[in-house]
Amino acid sequence: MNIKLNRKFNLSKDKYYIKYNELLKKIEKDRHLNCNSLCYNNSFNLFFRKNNNLFNRNLKLKIMKKRTLFFSTYLLLILTLLFTIKSNSQIIVDNNIGVNAPYSDLQTAIDNATANDVIYVHPSETNYGNITIDKPLTIIGKSHSQIGVEISRVENVTITPEGSGSTIKGLRITTSVYLNGVNGTSFNSNAQMVENITLENCKVYNVIYADWIRHYNFDETFQNGVAANNITIIGNVINKLLLQATNLTISNNWFWGRVTVWRPDSTLINHCIFTGSNIINNGNAITKVLVQNCLFLANSSNNKFLHTNESQYDNCLTYNYGSGSYDLSTTATGMLTNNMLFNTNPLFKDLSNGNPTTLYNENDYSLQVSSPAIGTGLNGENISINGNGFTFNTIGSPSGYPSITITNSTAIIPNNGTLNITILGKSN
């Protein structure tokens, strides 16, 4: 849903005070304005930035309090509409100094929420700390890596079995995610798994982790080692993945560390980029781990090898940007491959910023029209980090986060002139 508002604001001729906020940089860039820029911060204050090209005198302006309050009221009204579009309760958490949000502490907001509520975590320079999710919730941050602005970050995320059914989007998780299943306590008593979890558009600096749990059922060969079920990990930037889970979907992610799947029953890994160690399977599997339409990249003078025991690779690509090669291992056991592109440059659109195997927000990892990876994936798809109807976002800006954008404003404002602005509010 979009809400559009046009307003005019008269400026007086007295002194003004500029409080320059770094958050304005990104908005100013997005709007491509060569004039005064107008924005809001989380407390809905109105600021102007002086442009040296337009102001060649020492005139200072003061925005009258009444007009500032009037404009802030409109912004607050739009945000209120955006946050109340959905049927579930909407909870806002903001720990920025001077902001009077309903909650400043994220864990307190989680504790006071009811099942299926949506919690919006505002960007901040202060980490929101460790959180434990013990009920089904949707938690949405603004971005994990947006350039020039603050981001939504937490330390550790723990999800208990009671938190099954939760979704987490748009957070920078500076340590790890723990899917904490609970062991059974006596013979023939079932343990509790964490189930139906979606992690989307997040950045995890350490590990997404689910350890084994013991069910104490008669058929311990099958039930031992499953801590999570029906887990979707999509669109993330992740260091390591260490999971013992069934029905695991890993799609459209960027990995720079090792991925270990101990129990890859019904596990599908597709449309991912791997720049660290290969996917590792310990061989204790009922079925092979399936890897499809993925890219394995290196930048080394040493030769690299694709090596995963008990696995099946379909329509994947390897490439070494250094002087070494990237070939198939000859020592892996139970490893099947089909329609592979070894030592083939995927021809990304833009790798001008830094190491080609290091994720940079400014780079463009979509494929050039001449890329050999176009149409050569499974079922005629591209071998790409984009696919299955999902477009990978380097900054982790998720859907579902309400926002306000100033889409138009007066180019030049004379003394005692009128500032015309157009505000666009989006609910997702």
The string of pLDDT tens digits covering residues 355-393 is: 889 888 888 999 999 999 999 999 999 999 999 999 999
Mean pLDDT, rounded, for 80-87: 52
Neighbours of 147 (CB within 10 A): 13
Mean pLDDT, rounded, for 138-157: 90
Q: Which of 296, 241, 230 is CA-nearest to residue 266? A: 230
Whose tokens are 């190491």? That residue is 355
Tokens describing residue 99? 């902001």
Give residue 378's pLDDT. 95
User: What length is written for the chain?
Assistant: 428
What is the chain's mean pLDDT, rounded? 77
Q: Is the pLDDT of residue 149 over 80?
A: no
Q: What gap in Å lies between CA 244 and CA 13, rounded to an integer?
A: 66
Give residue 277's pLDDT. 74
Mean pLDDT, rounded, for 91-106: 94
Contact 201, 396 (CB under 8 A): yes
pLDDT in tens, 221-277: 334 557 889 999 999 999 998 888 888 999 999 999 988 887 666 789 999 999 987
Give residue 228's pLDDT. 87
Q: Is the pLDDT of residue 296 over 80?
A: yes
Q: What gap in Å lies between CA 49 and CA 51, rounded to an integer?
A: 6
Q: What gap in Å lies between CA 35 and CA 48, rounded to an integer?
A: 10
Q: Is the pLDDT of residue 13 over 60?
A: no
Alpha-carbon distances of 199 from 236, 352, 357, rounded to whole Å: 8, 29, 23
Q: What gap in Å lies between CA 271 and CA 314, rounded to an integer?
A: 11
Q: 421 pLDDT band (50/70/90 cuts)?
A: confident
Whose tokens are 């309090």? That residue is 65
Q: Is the pLDDT of residue 220 over 50?
A: no
For 275-303, give one letter per residue: b (16+ CB within 10 A) or e: beebbbbeeebeebbbbbbbbbbbbeeee
